Amino acid sequence: MKKNIFLALLMMVIAFGANAQKFRGLDKSPRDIAYFPDHFAHDRKDGEKALVKVAYSRPFLNGREIFGKKEPYGKVWRLGADESTEIKFYEDATFGGKKVKAGTYSMFAIPNEKEWTIILSSDVDYWGAYKYKEANDVLRIVAYVNKVETPIENFSIVFEKGASDREAKMYMGWEKTTVLVPISF
């Protein structure tokens, strides 16, 4: 009998402890990862290695006008929402025509109507672009805007294979805007 009472009390303590934990709700802008080779983690073959990975959030369009309004032209933007977008190069690369060492960087943009300045920064693990410091830029490149007819509902980043297995085209798009950054290894 004492054993049963003890077990019942123990179960109540465990149940109370489990119910006491509070979990956050879902973010409004889900996080996603883009790899090159595309879909790397899912389709990985033995001996294959990723060349680049981008971790970013995917805010919704929700009928808003983004570029020039929500994200003003000429101001640094975190490329998504929430935490700054991070790009990891698994080996030295050429990003938009400029050399970059293997490593992890925050990636920002300064959107304008016809071109974006894409920035790689040595500052990582920050929320947004609020603490962005130009002094920590590793490189800046220019990517030209392409307008599309069908709006892109969520900010998106995708890699497409280039002329070889060691060349990628990184596309970023949202609303009716896309930009392309060539990357080679």
Asked if the model's pLDDT at residue 39 lies above 80, the reply is: no
**Residue 173 scores a pLDDT above 60:** yes
Query: Could you tell me the residue ranges of all domains in the chain?
Result: 27-184
**In the structure, what pLDDT confidence band is assigned to residue 15 with cuts at 50, 70 and 90?**
low
d(CA 168, CA 185): 9
Side-chain-side CA neighbours of 95 within 13 Å: the count stands at 25
pLDDT digits (tens, 9 = 90+) for 90-115: 999 999 999 999 999 999 999 999 99
Q: How far apart are CA 32 and CA 3, in angstroms?
A: 50
What pTM does this model have? 0.84
Where residue 76 falls (left for φ over 0; alpha for ψ -120 to 50; beta otherwise) is beta
